[in-house]
Amino acid sequence: MLESIAKQYGFPENECTLQPFGNGLINNTWILNYRDDQFIFQKINDSVFTSPSTIAENLHQLHIFFKAHFPDYLFVNPVATVNNDEMFFLQEIGYCRLFKFVKGSVTFDTVANTDIAFEGARQFGKFTKLLSAFDINKLQITLPDFHNLTLRYQQFEEALQKGNKDRIKESEASILYIIAKKNIVDIFNQIQNNPSFKKRVTHHDTKISNVLFDTNGNGLCVIDLDTVMPGYFISDVGDMIRTYVSPVSEEENDFSKINIREDYFQAIVDGYLCEMKNELSDEEKNYFVYAGKFMIYMQAIRFLADYLNNDVYYGSKYPGHNLIRCNNQLELLQQLLAKEELLQSKVSMFIAQETPVS
Ligand code: GN1
Ligand code: MG
């Protein structure tokens, strides 16, 4: 494999090494070392991204926009091959691309303090804000209906009809809880018909490892732009709430460690709105807590539907893995709901502070 990759970029194979990197569930990632340079090499999962060229085209469009309007923004574009392609296909590997590792940048796998949460949220807010003049119709849909909760709920119902019978029985408590909280889907349907909600350039994968920081802890930019598509802000804010607010990830099976850290929620509100406060309508701002519910609920549904469908999408490292992931998310949802009013008051306070007194 290394030989064919090195050839694409004109690197002598004997001067390159390749080692696995990161913990994404969908694409495969490696670090490629060549002389003194480090690169990130990625294979696109083309059973998920069925039209990988749309990713390359989106990156290209965004790159042109940033170069023209915000040339100082660090936009991490793929390295061109010797044939000047930013993505290539190899029979033995699949669709691949290479990024230069940004020297002096660091990433975090966990959100260890509120400064990281603030800065992460600020970077995702900044990305959408800088792209507010970009025509969203120029973006291709790399994953149709990716964050369409209505469809995700239908897929869950389908899994209940056609899925693994033993697993359905085993998951009964989780299934009932999901059905009981279906009003989260109803609210999403209302949002789709609400003219106060706007579609903007949305990242759709706002985990903290998708933010590059400098060594002083300042955010540099966001990366992993494969799911950048038109979307609602609740996708980005919601996934930050889902992944920054609890001290443990969706992989944790000791649910007593799951906890809503209110100060981290506040850091997301402050960081995101410090960039986006003039972009979002007041009505949209009031959906911050809903954003968390929306993304946690959707992720629980996706893990459970996958469990019932025999783990075809996310895979599974041990028996019951996707059911544990689902129940982890349902525990997080329950805890978020228990603190809903308190969290909402933090958002209301932010809005009140910003509103000029007449
Ligand atoms: C997948 O591959 P990764 O870990 O960046 C998934 C996200 C989920 C996440 C859950 C294309 O992202 O939607 O939130 O797993 N991406 C895709 O960990 O399905
Ligand atoms: Mg990703």
pLDDT, tens digit (0-9, with 9 covering 90-100), for 14-62? 999 999 998 888 899 999 999 999 999 999 999 999 999 999 999 999 9
Whether the predicted pLDDT of 356 surpasses 80: no
pLDDT at 156 (0 to 100): 98
Whether the predicted pLDDT of 78 surpasses 80: yes
Q: Which residue has the tokens 């050839």?
A: 7
pLDDT at 278 (0 to 100): 96
Report percent pLDDT > 90 for the chain: 94
Q: Is the CB of 226 under 6 A from ligand 1?
A: no
User: Average pLDDT, stretch 186-202?
Assistant: 97
Spatial separation of the C-alpha atoms in residues 233 and 128, rounded to whole Å:
9
Q: Is the CB of 94 under 6 A from ligand 1?
A: no
**CA–centroid distance, residue 229 to ligand 1 (Å):** 15
Q: Is the CB of 24 under 6 A from ligand 1?
A: yes
90 token code pair: 């190899």
Identify which ligand lies nearest to the alpha carbon of 315: 1
Q: Is the CB of 248 under 6 A from ligand 1?
A: no
**CA–centroid distance, residue 281 to ligand 2 (Å):** 28
Which ligand 1 atom is the nearest neighbour of the CA of 204? Answer: 13
Q: Is the CB of 22 under 6 A from ligand 1?
A: no
Confidence class for position 305, pLDDT limits 50, 70, 90: very high
**CA–centroid distance, residue 24 to ligand 2 (Å):** 6
Confidence class for position 79, pLDDT limits 50, 70, 90: very high
Region at 145 (left for phi over 0; alpha for psi -120 to 50; beta for the rest): left
Q: Is the CB of 26 under 6 A from ligand 1?
A: yes
Confidence class for position 196, pLDDT limits 50, 70, 90: very high
Confidence class for position 154, pLDDT limits 50, 70, 90: very high
236 token code pair: 């980005």
Whether the predicted pLDDT of 81 surpasses 90: yes
* Strand runs labelled E in 25-159: 28-34, 37-43, 88-90, 94-100
35 token code pair: 């002389």
Average pLDDT value for the chain: 96
Catalogue all structural domains in the chain, each as residue range(s) with its CATH number.
2-101 (3.30.200.20), 114-352 (3.90.1200.10)
User: Average pLDDT, stretch 242-259?
Assistant: 98
User: Average pLDDT, stretch 133-153?
Assistant: 98
pLDDT at 22 (0 to 100): 83
Whether the predicted pLDDT of 357 surpasses 70: no
User: Average pLDDT, stretch 156-184?
Assistant: 98
User: Average pLDDT, stretch 5-19?
Assistant: 95
Which amino acid appears at position 249 of this protein? Answer: S
User: Average pLDDT, stretch 312-327?
Assistant: 97
Whether the predicted pLDDT of 317 surpasses 80: yes
Identify which ligand lies nearest to the alpha carbon of 146: 1
| Distance linking the first and last C-alpha atoms of the chain | 66
Q: Which residue has the tokens 């609210």?
A: 187
Spatial separation of the C-alpha atoms in residues 245 and 265, rounded to whole Å:
6
* Alpha-carbon distances of 292 from 26, 247, 296, rounded to whole Å: 22, 15, 6
**CA–centroid distance, residue 152 to ligand 1 (Å):** 14
User: Average pLDDT, stretch 291-313?
Assistant: 98
Q: Is the CB of 47 under 6 A from ligand 1?
A: no
pLDDT at 358 (0 to 100): 62
Which pairing describes strands 88-90 and 229-231: parallel, antiparallel, or unpaired?
Answer: unpaired
